[in-house]
Amino acid sequence: MPALGKMLIVLGIVIILIGLGFLYAHKIPYLGRLPGDIYIKRDNFTFYFPLATSIVISIILSLIFWIFRK
């Protein structure tokens, strides 16, 4: 049972951090506008694929999970 308690505490902290990320994400000026993000705008069509941003977020999350795993 103590392992379940620790897991719930970590899950709660992760949810709080995700919520804070959503709250303050618009204040990070470069996130979503990195070189490598694909943005195509035509007359009646807009396509945006944040390739570089996705890679950066993936690397950061991988490092965080790797640190917690140790």
Q: How confident is the model over 38-60, as a mean pLDDT?
A: 92
- Nearest Cα residue to 35 out of 16, 56, 9: 56
Whether the model clears a pTM of 0.85, i.e. scores above it, the answer is no
Q: Is the pLDDT of residue 29 over 80?
A: no
pLDDT at 6: 85
Number of domains in the chain: 2
Identify whether residues 19 and 35 lie together within a single domain.
no
For 20, the domain range is 1-28
Identify whether residues 9 and 22 lie together within a single domain.
yes
pLDDT at 65: 86
Q: How confident is the model over 25-46, as a mean pLDDT?
A: 86
Identify whether residues 35 and 68 lie together within a single domain.
yes
Residues in a beta bridge with 60: none
